[in-house]
Amino acid sequence: MTEQLPAITFYVLSFAALGGAVSMMATRNVVHAAFWLLEVMLATAGIYLLLSAEFLALVQVLVYAGAVAVLTLFVIMLTLRRREDAVRPYPVGWGSLALAALLTGIVLVAITRFEPTLAALPEAAPGVEAFGREMFSTWMLPFEIASLVLLVALVGAVWWAGGEDR
């Protein structure tokens, strides 16, 4: 008999994530949508904790719930001239809905067929210390490349968003 994930916690977090995502699509207000996205990101951090990925949960809260949410809200604020502009007409987009539903349906069928192979949860999950050791031994080169990518993205973002006098 193997270890189990706590079912109630999982269902609560899944409900929070899916409900937040649906509300994000259902609301007409862009600012409300940004806050619903923030809620989805926090629920995802909870799911990472459930999967004993503590470091990723921390990064998720710092990067997505912190930096990305603030950045999104700032851009919404800077690109709205009046408060009423936040409330937008609601395009249903039946074609997009059908396409997304079709893809999701195909993936769900694939998951049900995949089910019998991997069901049991393995016992051991290493902690943050092992994660750090792996990060700076096996994944050293990708880590350096990632820092370079972030630097280039930072410079590019400043250049694009910069002032008028160029």
List Cβ neighbours of 28 (8 Å cut-off, separation of 6 or more). 87, 88, 89, 90
Binding residue for other proteins, selected from 108, 136, 140, 144, defined by CB under 8 A = 108
Binding residue for other proteins, selected from 115, 137, 141, 165, defined by CB under 8 A = 115
Site size toward other proteins (CB under 8 A) is 86
Count of beta carbons in the 10 Å neighbourhood of residue 150:
10
Q: Which is nearer to other proteins, 84 or 161 (by Cβ)?
A: 161
Binding residue for other proteins, selected from 136, 139, 140, 144, defined by CB under 8 A = 139
For residue 61 the two structure tokens come to 């809260």
Say whether residue 16 binds other proteins (CB under 8 A).
no
Say whether residue 1 binds other proteins (CB under 8 A).
no
Residues 48-77 touching other proteins, rule: CB under 8 A, are: 48, 51-53, 55-56, 59-60, 63-64, 67-68, 71-72, 75-76
Say whether residue 132 binds other proteins (CB under 8 A).
no
The burial of 166, by beta-carbon neighbours within 10 Å (0-12 exposed, 13-18 middle, 19 or more buried), is given as: exposed
Amino acid identity for residue 79 in this structure: T
Q: Which is nearer to other proteins, 83 or 95 (by Cβ)?
A: 95
User: Least distance from C-beta 6 to other proteins, angstroms?
Assistant: 8
Say whether residue 12 binds other proteins (CB under 8 A).
no
Say whether residue 46 binds other proteins (CB under 8 A).
no
d(CA 50, CA 54): 9
